[in-house]
Structure 1
C-alpha cells in the first residue's frame, strides 16, 4: 500500500503560504505601478492579467466503500464536506463598454474533504479524509448585463487529477476504552479519473483601485461561482460526486492606450438642459362627426380605412372611450381625430343599440349609377345588422347618382377627380334626435359630436439630452463624466446610440441646481479614443401649470362660407355659454387643397369672420364682455391644416373653422 509522507494538513499550509506570497507580490506591484502619476490619459484596457485566489466549499454526495484493491471499508461512507484552496492565474478580454468578453483561468484546484463519520459493525467510529486536487482549466464567456462593473460568467471546467490519496481511521469501541488505537490506513484511491469535464457559472464585480485613466489600471474583483455535481464524479466506480461553491477575489491589471484629444470638428457634444415651460394646455375638444362614409372607386365594400369590429367586440365598444386609444400629440389632430371619425359606423351602431326607436336612411351616391349607390348603402346596412344586431327594418337604403349637396358643380372643369372622390359616398340621414347634433334636424343634419380630452405634451422634459451626432467620426461607444462645482463626479454610459437622455433628478440628486463640466470620452470604429469638454447649467424640472381650453369645430360644405346658418343656434346656445368674461377666443379658418391658394386664403378668413360675427352678437346678448378675439385664415396651408388631404374625408374635415377658448386664470 502506498503511503504519503506529506500529510494533507501540511500540504495545505504550504499552499496557503504560496497563495499569500503571490497575492502580496501582486498588491506590491499594484502599489508601485500606481505611484507614478500619468499626465496623459489612457483608455480602459481590453486585456487584463492577474491571479484569482479563492476558497472551495466542497460538498460530497453519494457513496464510496472500496477505496482501492487492497482496502475496503466495512461500512460505506455517505456525504461529506471540505474547505480548500483555489489559486489560478487569470486572463480576461472585454472591450471597453462591451457587454461580452472572455475569461480564462488555469491553476490549482483542491477538492479535498472529509466524509461524515460512520459506525462499523464493531460499533467503532470510522473517518475518511481525501486529498483530491486538480490542475484545472476554466474558459468562460463573460457577460455584463448592465454594461457596467457587474458581470456574469460561465463555461466548461477541464480538470486533470494531481493527487488522489486517502486516510482511513478506524476508532476504538467506546465500550472498551483501554483498547489500543488502530493505525491509520493511507493510500491512493483506485479508479480515479485522470480528466474530468464539467461546467461552472458565476458572477463578480470589478472594483477599480487606482485611476481609471492611468496607463496601468488595477482592479480587484470579488467573485462567487458554482460548479454543480454533474460531470464531477472523481472515480469511475461507485456514486461519489462533488459539488463546489467557490468564493474569492481576482486581482488583475491591464494597460490602456493614450486618449487622443479631439481636434475641432472631430468630436462634438451638444448638451441640452430642459427649459422650463410654464404652462401646458389641456384641451377639451368637441369633435364633430361627418355623417358621410366614403367609398373607394370601383368598390361597393366598406374601405379598409374604417375601423370595423367583430361581433364579439361590440359589447366592449364605448364611444366615449375612443379617445383613450388615440394619440396625445396636440400638433397631430389628423392622427388623433381621424381615429374617432374612422369609428363612425361603430359609433352609429352603438347609438342605435342604445336608442331602439331611432331609424336611419343610408343614401349611396355613385356616378356609376343609382344601383351602385344602393350597393354601397347595403354594405353599411349589412355591417350594422350582422355585427351590431340592429333590426333591418330600422335602416332604409337609397341610391343616387349625385348627393344632394354635391362637390362637383355643373360647368366645373378643375380638379374633378378630387371632387368626384368626395361625391362617392353614403350619407347617414336621420330624424332621431338621439343620433343628431344639438338643435339640428333634417336629412343633412350632422351626427352628434364626440368629446375628446387631450393633454398637450410639454415642450420641455425632465431630462438632459446628450447628443454626439454632429461629430466628424461616429462613436461605436461613448460615455460622459459630469463634475460639479465641488469636484464631485458622476459617470454615465457607455452608450451606443448617438443621443441619450438622462433624468435631471438622476444628475442633481437633492441639489437645487448646479453648473457642470461635461467630458465626453468616445471610441471610434477605428479604435481611436477622443474626448470633448463642455459645460451646462442644470435646474430641477418643474411641471408646467396646466391651462385648460375648450375647442369646437364648425364644418362647411365645399366652396361655402355662408352655410354656417345651420350652426348658428349651436354657436349661440352651446359655444357662447362656455366663454366667460376676460377669456381669449382664437378662431381659425381652413380649407382643403382644391382651388387656388389665394382664393382659399380669403375663403378661410371669411369662414372665420362668419363665426366671429355670430359669437359677438350672442355674447353681447348674454352680457359677456372683455373678450379678446384672435382671427386667422390659414387657407389650404398644409403645414397648418388640421388634417392631411390624401382622402376625401380628410379634405371634408379641412373645410372647417376651429374655435379655441382659452380660459383666463
Structure 2
C-alpha cells in the first residue's frame, strides 16, 4: 500500500477511500514536501547537423570547393539549477560547455581529389528556460533562449595529395543568441521521507539554428538534437499531511465543440462538358533509381516517326478521360515531353536549351543522364548539338528534399533524380509565374470532360477534423432507398450528382450526416437537396493549372500577374469560376488539406479583385481545397511526375448556362 502511495498519491487516496468508505480519516502522519530549489549537473550528446555554404575558412584559406551539409556527435556538460514553486510551473538555468563540432560531407576538389572539413567549434552556453509539468507529475517540458559564448573555433581541412591544414575560423561571432525546447522526466532515486531528495532525469531537446550562424560571413548554420541525463538534488521540509476526508469521485465533463453541417448541390447536374485545357509541362524528365537510361514510360520515336511528328498531333488520339479524377490523357502528353521539345527546337532554330542532370549521387552520373537526352534530340530530331548544353549536379536547383528533412525521404529523393530542361528562349516557356518561371510552354487540349466538378454534391462538416473520429453521409430518396457514403475524416467530402441520381433524371433527397465524436458520442445533422440531370454538348469551358514545387512557403501571390492578365480576361459576365487545390501525399494530411484550401481561396481573391477593376459582373466563385484526397486528386502518386502534377491549383471557367 505504501509503495502504491509513493508511486501515485492521488490514486492511493482514492484507493484508501474505497476501502474505508464511511469512516472519517483523522489520523495524521509526517511526510516531506518536494524541494523548491534543485541543483545538479547533466551530461548529454549533441547530435549536430550542418547546412548552408562554407568555402572561405579564414583570411588565408579559401578551399576550391564549397561545403554544404554535415553532422557530428559531440559532448555537452552543464551545471544546473531548477526552481519549482508548485507542481506545474517553474524555471531552469543551465551553465554549460556546449560542443557543436562535426564533419562536413566530403566534396571533390577540381583536381578530382577528395576533400574533407571538420571542426571542433564549442561554446560556454547560458540557457534559462521555462519549465512546465502539464500533468502535475514527473513529466515536464521546457523551452527558452540560449546565449552562447565561443571558446573554440578550430578546423581541420584535408585534401588528397596535400598536407592537412589546421587553423581557426575567421569571422566567428563571439556571442550567439538562439533558442531551444525539450522534454524530460524526473525519476526519484531516494526515499520519499529522506531530507535530501535525488532524481535522475533523462531529457531530450532541440536547439534551433534560428539566429545560430556561427560566423558573420557565408551561410553556415547548425541545429542540434540533444539527448542526455541529469542528476538533481534538493532539500525537502517536514510537513503534516491533512486528514483524508471522504469524497465522491466524479468524472470530468468534456464539452464537445459543435459541428456545423451544410450541403452545396448544383441546380442542375451537367453530365459532360467540352473543355479547352491549357496543360502546363513540367520541365523535368525523371529517371529510375540506379539507371541513367531514359525510362521506358517516356515515349521515344525513331527517325522516320520524328520527321512527321508535330506537337499538334497530341490533341488527337489520346485517352478521352479528361475529368476531375486521374487523367491518362494529360500524363500521356507529359510523357511526350522529349518529342515536344524536339519539335519546338526544330520549329524555332534560334532557341537553345540547357539540360541539367541531378543523380543524387554525383555530378558525373547526372551529366550522363543529361547526355542521353541530348543524344536523343540530336540523333532522332536532328537538332544541332551546339544548341543543347549539358551539366551535372548532385541536386537540382529546386530540390524536393529540404535541408534537415527526415520524413518520406525515399519519395523526395526519387523526385530529385531528374534532368531539368532550362531555356531563356521565350517560345519554349510558359507565362505562369512571370519571366522566372521554369515551366515549359503549355500544350492545349480540347476534349470532353465527364462528371465535371460542378456536378458534384459537396458535404461541408466544419469542425469534423477537430471533433470527430469520422463521419458518414446517408442519402435517402423519396422512395426510402438509402445510399451510404464515407467514412470521412476531413471537413469536406464530395459525391458526384450523377452517382446519386443513378438512372433517375431528377430527384429529391434527404441528407443525414452521422458523426462519431472523439469522446464516444454521436452527432447527427440533416439537410436536403434536389437534383436534375442536364446534358449540353455545346457548352464549352476553359481550364488552367498552376503548379507548385515542393516548397511549403511558396505563395499563390507569385502567380498574381498570370491570374490577373491571363485568367481574368477570359471570365465572362454571369459565368462560374471553380477553383480547386490539391497536393501530393507527402506530408501531414491535415496540413495538406489546409494548404490546398488556402491556395485556392487566395487565387479566388486575386481574380475577384481583377474582375472588379475590369467591371465584370455576376461571376460566381466556388473554391475548394481537397489536399491529398485520392478520390479527387488529378493523378496517382506513384510516379514523381504524378506527385509534381498533384501540387496544383486548377481553375475551371464555365460560361453562363
Which protein is bigger by CA-based radius of gyration?
1
TM-score by length of 1: 0.45
